[in-house]
Structure 1
Amino acid sequence: MDTLENKDSEAWERLGMELGAGRSRVNQTPPLEPGCVPVPPANLNLGFAAQPPALRASWSPPPGGRDGFRLRLYSLGPLALKSEETLAPEAQNFSWAQLSPGSKFLVQVATLHGPEESSSSNATAWTPPLAPLLVNVTSEGPTKLQASWVHASGNWDSYQVTVCQGGTRVATGFVGAEVNSTSLSSLTPGTKYEVEIASRAGPLRTAAANVSGWTSPLMPSELLVSMQAGSAVVNLAWVSSPLGQGTCHAQLSEAGHLSWKEPLELGQAHLMLRGLTPGRNLSLSVLCQAGPLQASTHPVVLPVAPPRCHPLGGHGHPHNAEPLVPTEPGPVEDVRCQTEAAHLVLNWTVPAGDVDACLVVAEQLAAGGSAHLVFQANTSEDALLLPCLEPATSYRLSLTTLGRNGLWSRTVTLVCATSAEGPLTPQSLEVISKNSPSDLTIGWALAPGQRDGYKVTWHQEGSQRSLGNLDLGPDNSSVTLKGLVPGFCYAVSVWAWAGNVSSSVQRIHSCTREFQLSLWVAARGLVSFAPGPSVCHIIDLEGH
């Protein structure tokens, strides 16, 4: 009895198991063999659809049975799960919209079969970055452009800057992700360029629309004018860089109104102006244009002298004799301008003949062509220092010689600009020692900031002719001038320099001690000397 009941119980259990297995076979995929796992999807591919923007994954279904797919999306850097989806067994693709631009993603697809999940098929892809916004290109001179833009949303690794001219790429560079402007240098003057700014993320790049810009035309860096009655000879100096493209005109104006215009070739070195009306004040300038950009020199005034009448054939002169007429001296020649931040140094060649002095006039030029007098001096030398000027400022310089007969020469005019601000001026300049009647030791406080060294010049008071010129190291704070004339007064100038830029000049005036001979030495004739300046200068640098 017990055995029968046990057998019936076992039968019912087997039946229940068969019925349960039958329901399972009706509702589920047949189970896998023990020890088997589903096959992962094949040919996983990622792509990006532009409209609407979305990352799209596609795959090939694996062999064998399956209940569906599990799809996971990770963002990389840092790693983070962004999405997890369970798809139907017939699914072969899926898309994600509104992902962050310029980002890298990892996609994993696995096959599901009952409680089992296959290993995953993996693939990575980047979403394209957004293009930079509001790209702008402006001119910064004849050889430079400035490109700027606004960052778009999303992510990007860097920017690629490409410069083209006439359809040909001339330069390509890369800047960091945080940069929103860059200078483009070494370009050709007066030329139109196309600039492309592209965002880069991984292997992808997205460029903004090309923006064009012009470099400004090249114009003369200096106008040197020599006047003669009714005529003017103009020498034009150009920088040594490529002349580029553009058109130039020389133009004369009177009282702000254009009265004459003549085309110039780029790089033209000379211009002769004839037939100028005497007694009128004309201004000469050179205007150059390239595309929409114009550049003009500061106007140079041409004072056309009125004609002078000579009493030919008057009383006291035979009608057939040529009277003696005083002649004006020749103008200065070979004028050179050495620019510094706070001063200019002029050098010139004095003309032959009886020249008594040279009048040097400096006018500071302002926007619109206005000018005001800042310096005026007469000198009998062939060089002059113009101190206390503004850095990075243009000055109109006029030089006129005065003959011993009281007549003035025609005026030579040029425009010269001071350089940018240089190192700070040495402070507390003082005489710290007069060890002997022919020595002066000058000391100063070191100028703060960067510098390459100091320059020292000196001359006797009452004379502009320099007696010496020293280059000192950046750590020198004193210098001893030897071989000076006892009992004479000297002006000593000191300034700092860095590269080709100098500070303003510090100047001190001091006199050497009188030289006194011992009566014992003089009586024995052991020392004899002749008055007058020393013929040699011995320089001793403190600390060397």
Structure 2
Amino acid sequence: SSISTVSNAGPSPVHNLTLSSGGSSEVLRASWVHTHGQRDSYHLALYHSDSQTLVRNVSIPPNTSTFLFDGLLAGSEYALKVSTVAGSSQASTSTHQWTAPSIPTQLRLSPGSSTSLIASWVGAAGAAWLHLALHNLLTQTVTTTLSARRGLTSYTFQHLHPGTPYWLGLNVTAGPCTTVGPNATAWTYPLSPGNVTLSSAEEQSSLQARWSIPEGERDFYLVTLQEGADGAPMRNISVSGDNSHLTFHGLSPGNQYTVQVTAVAGPYRASACSTAAWTQPLAPSSVNLVSQGSPYSLRASWEEARGHGYVLALSAMEHPVKNSSLLRGVTNFTYEGLHPGTLYTFEISTVAGPYTSASRRVSNWTYPLPPEELILSNQGHCTSLQASWRAVTTGSTGYTGTLWETKFQEQVRNITVGNNWTNVTFEDLVPGRQYTLEMAAMAGPYRSPVRSATEWTYPLAPTGVTLTNTRRPLGLTASWDKAAGDVDQFHLQLYSKSHAAQRNITVGPNTHNFTFLGLSPGTQYFLKVTVLTGPYRSSSHFATEWTYPLSLANVSVQPGRRPQELRVSWVESGGGRDHLVQLSVAESLSVIRNVSVPRGVTHIDLEGLVPGSRYRVEIISQAGPHRTSSQSAIGYTVPLAPLALSASPASTAWALAVHWETPPGQRDGYWLSVLEEGSSAPARNLEAGKDSTNVTLAWLEPGTCYLVGVWAVAGPYRSPAKNITGCTIPAAPTNLTLTNKGSTSELYSGWNKPRGRRDHYRVTLYSLSLQSRERVHILSPDAQNFTWTHLEAGSRFAVQVTAVKGLFEASSTNITQWT
């Protein structure tokens, strides 16, 4: 339509003004017819109707009759005003038109739920209206129609049928323009089947799946069966959408199966929760119950049977039942802590879900315990052994035993007794023989480990044991007789009460005598012969005998502490009970003294003897009935010293007379020693007969003192010395002179030195004229002159020189002279 506006004077509006889209959604073409009249130009103003917005405002030459507006909005209404301009005047004409609507893109139809579909699209802004029509493809009916204004981009169709395919058509309009848009097809989600169950069918190894049919539609059901909960699908079966059950055949017994039922509608699926069930299990096969030699355990084994586990039961008379459950995969089970020697019954069933198979049953015995505290004892008997044991605390049906000769491995007896027996005695056995008893407890077909005990019968002691002196040096011979029975060895024990050491000799069973050499002399020995058989001994009575004593060695006779004593000593040469010391005077064979001395003493002092006498000593060693004499030994008692010893000068100045009195006792003689006093010369020795009482010592030095020692001598011994000092008379001075050398008051005297010694000189001057007192001077023993002074003139004098030695003196002759 167009509207014209005419001014009072001026140009005329255009005629036949049109505005067309030509099917375009972005372009409008304006055209008109020129009118008569004046015009300078055309002015075109294009407005958007909804917003009243000026879109274009253009002026064009006056001879132009069309104009193209582009870049417009699709599906929008525009208003055009065309003005004819002449000078300042103008005449206008108006019209309006729609651009063609744009077709929406990316139309999508998708299920929102089992009863809804969601439609969505893009690019619908260029349409004023959208017209949607939803068709049910199954019923070929329109379910829903919808007209919506510009701006809507999606829509949800509600209250649809589950699992149903739908077709959606879309048209757009803008003013008088209508455009057919895209279409889409989609299914609503199907509903999952309900109340799915899986249970055993009537047929063996079959399972039946059942479910309830949900509302709505579906193409079909997909029923999936898998082994276990996580196994791979083993069967996929499609059934029609109106079906409600399916049976699976040929399944494995005792297996768990899981079924899932899925409703399929187009590309969509709805699965029910899976459910599981078990097929009926079979009982295990090859069931065994083995003892493995243990008294406390049994091992059950079987071949694998399908199922989720096993139920086990072990039972025995008078004992509680042991129940156990095991998971699948285990094919054996060991029962510990069982009762030895007991019959047990084992039952096993396979468990698969709620089902339990029939049971398999097998029985067996545990091994019995061996007899405890098995003892084989001879109880001191030589021909019998008693076996005893403590009964086992749990089951056994009896005991069996075999008695063997250990050395020869020969069976002697076999016994079988009831389980209430605890001892048995074996009679008529060989003395001293080793036997081994092997015993075992019995239970069913089994025997316990063997317990063994070994023992010897008691041996018989040897008889006729003797110990004799062989007359060999220090030897004794043992002999004995063998008694009946076995002997491993003979043990000979030879000992003496006087010696800590003893001889232990072991000899073979066929030896019946033995000689002991190298024994201690003079010793009483005791012999015991013992039979050795295993750990046992049987001993004879003691036999005894003495070895001959040895003669004593190194017998010596020495003077005692006093002259009336002798000390007899010897070296103990071994053996003997005691010694007999026999004393006799050497010149006679008659024994004057018998003294018994115990063994171990090695000397004796004999008292009350005669000093200085010669004696003979013989020592006899005694050992039991045997005696041995030593060699004789000679000894002297020490003589007594001489009595009353004196030494006096003899009649000559050259000798001393020595005298003594005879002491008591005997002696062989006297021994004298003369030693000059102050001299380094050796002493003079001389002997005197045993009856002498004096000796004159001649050829001595005058005026000399001598030490004289006198001993009584008997054999090699001397009495204690008797000593005395005696001095010889000194020699008188010779050649004495008295000379006057012309002096009135002096005289000179001189003399020759005599032989020997003296203590000093005593020089005496006598006055012969006046009878006055003599004058005396003591001079040294070496002086040979002396001068007399202060004498009276004309007087006659006499002089004498005396040599003095102790109490003895020797004077010269007198010599006279005048002053």
Please classify the TM superposition score into its range, dividing by the shorter chain length: 0.3 to 0.5
Q: Which has the higher strand share?
A: 2
Instruction: Between the two structures, name the one with larger relative contact order (CA 8 Å, sep ≥ 6).
Output: 1
Q: TM-score, normalised by structure 2?
A: 0.30
